Structure 1
Amino acid sequence: MSLSVVYAADTGHVLGALELTGGGAPADVGALVGTGLPLRVTARLGGTALNLPVAARRLGAAAVDDEPGAFTDPLSFGVELTTAGRPKPVLAQLAPWPVADPVTLTTSTLSVTLPAPVTRVTPVLVLVSGDTEPSVTSGQLQAGQQEVGVQVRLRTGDERGVLVLIAGLTGLLAAKVVADA
């Protein structure tokens, strides 16, 4: 195993992959990412980078079996834990979104509509880029729920980076223009 991944501890989503020589991933994820993993998405309107740093305390690191797709599309893979709480060596392939754009961002709410209700309690992590730091919301969808709603305070016409991680589904990283509520 020479592949190491950094993943969202809340949901298991792989956020980055690297090939290490020597040992496996360090036990302290901060040794890999510092205070946080800097994710970025390019703004559609201005072409600038919208920053979504994920704090190191929300991350885990794992040495896993080689998976070339983890380098090109890391959000399509997840880390599953054993009953002892250790990462399994094989990455899980996450289900793709069956709808093109499930995210709506208004001045007061970010909402994500799932194609069908979840059948069990499902972890969720949402980041929305801010002027200085991103807004971070974590929680769970309860069995039978089909929508995630996060309260925000934004201005119409602004563009924000959005990271939506729902366990079991491919992660979404996109630039969204804020619409009227």
Structure 2
Amino acid sequence: MNFTFTDDHIMMRETARKIAEEKLKPLAKEIDARETPDLDTLRELGELGFMAMMVPEKYGGAGLDTVSYVIVMEEFSKVCASTGVCVSVNNSLFADGVYKFGTEEQRKKYLPPLGDGQAQACLGLTEPGAGTDVGSTATTAVKDGSDYIINGKKHFAFPNKVVLYFSSKNHRLSTLA
């Protein structure tokens, strides 16, 4: 396999490195001390195309390849691992899954706000007494007419204080988006 970067990859690395040094590094200690990401920075990263990198432009993404995504993750995570995790959750756990496995309606509804920084995905896996053992999670979603009643607690479901959409399987919530 040839792992030589293209000119576009080299330019992406330089751009990501500059953003990391100028925008993320100065905030890294504060973010760690607060134990919560900087939402303004995440919105700005979305506006710059970093929150739905591999999603086609048609759905509000940047339309980049996986190598570009990995390059950006490396540069961001070198200076601020917390921000790197948030960018990773948006791209890998949410945007990529909705793009690859979602319906056309879901792609049009959920991806543009993520791609332009107006929304951020979160992973709500960890629970009191269960840790990250998905099989031991206790949060439930019970259908009530056209709504669901969500009951349970999640830890570390950053960056969001309010979650608008939930993903569930068999009425047991293992992730929040």
The TM-score, its normalising length taken from structure 2, stands at 0.26
TM-score normalised by the chain length of structure 1: 0.25
The structure whose residues are more often strand, as a share, is 1
**Greater RCO, 1 or 2 (C-alpha within 8 Å, sep 6+):** 1
Q: Mark the structure with the bigger radius of gyration.
A: 2
